[in-house]
């Protein structure tokens, strides 16, 4: 194995947006200005503002429902962990998922080695964010091995589920979603709207 040198970076923050960086440098960085969301896309650091309340609140509720399923349902132990604001390794890119869910490992996941089973996004209402969440991340997450990609769109009041096998489902706000990955888990979408 050839050792590669990784340059020491100053604290990264909004002023670092657009900085060129390697995946190794991104992975080794330790000084991040808190509150911002960091991604590495095609060798460029992208710094976004923190999520707004319209994203944080339903994301928090989803985390609560998954943890409650894990603790109370007989099949709940299939969920190893759920975490908000998780960096997902997608080839040379580093994407920030609004929520990640690991299922079936039987242990606490290693976020540097274990790809989430489910990635979740709560898209903003801007056209560029919608393109990224509905098109770009869909392919990247599938290529990375994510089994289901949930796009929970509070603006459209629906959830789109992309399964790695190519199947796509659309669930409206008044419906309940059930995934074979978490037997017995029922997501009444209205709870997140």
Rounded to 5 degrees, φ, ψ at 5 are -85, 135
pLDDT at 1: 46
Superfamily covering domain 53-192: tt1808, chain A (3.90.1570.10)
pLDDT at 100: 97
Distance CA 87, CA 32 (A): 14
What are the structural domain ranges in the chain?
Answer: 14-48, 53-192
| Alpha-carbon dihedral sign for residues 90, 94, 98, 103 | positive
Cβ neighbours for 57, distance < 8 A, ≥ 6 positions apart: none
pLDDT at 55: 83
How long a stretch of residues is the chain? Answer: 193
Q: Are 95 and 137 in contact (CB under 8 A)?
A: yes
pLDDT at 2: 47
Distance CA 6, CA 110 (A): 22
Rounded to 5 degrees, φ, ψ at 56 are -65, -40
Tokens representing residue 116 in the block: 């989430």
Pairing of strands 186-188, 176-178: antiparallel
Looking at every residue in the chain, the average pLDDT score rounds to 90
pTM equals: 0.87
| Alpha-carbon dihedral sign for residues 51, 55, 61, 64 | negative
- What is the per-residue pLDDT across 52-87, written as a single tens digit (0 to 9) for each? 787 889 999 999 999 999 999 999 999 999 999 999
Cβ neighbours for 53, distance < 8 A, ≥ 6 positions apart: none
Q: Partners of 162 in the beta sheet?
A: 149, 168
């Amino acid at each position: 194995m050839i050792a590669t040198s990784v340059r020491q970076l100053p604290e990264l923050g909004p002023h670092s947006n657009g900085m060129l960086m390697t995946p190794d440098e991104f992975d080794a960085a330790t000084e991040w200005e808190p509150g911002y969301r960091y991604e590495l896309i095609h060798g460029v650091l992208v710094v976004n503002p923190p999520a707004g309340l319209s994203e944080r609140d339903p994301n928090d509720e989803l985390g609560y429902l998954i943890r409650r399923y894990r603790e109370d349902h007989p099949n709940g132990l299939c969920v190893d962990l759920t975490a908000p604001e998780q960096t997902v390794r997608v080839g040379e890119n580093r994407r920030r998922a609004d929520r990640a869910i690991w299922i079936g490992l039987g242990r606490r996941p290693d976020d540097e080695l274990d790809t989430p089973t489910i990635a979740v996004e709560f898209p903003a209402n801007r056209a560029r964010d919608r393109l990224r969440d509905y098109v770009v991340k869909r392919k990247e997450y599938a290529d990375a091995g994510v089994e289901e990609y949930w796009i929970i769109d509070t603006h459209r009041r629906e959830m789109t589920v992309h399964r790695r096998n190519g199947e796509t489902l659309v669930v409206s706000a008044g419906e309940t979603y059930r995934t074979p990955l978490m037997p017995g888990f029922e997501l009444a979408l209205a709870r997140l709207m």
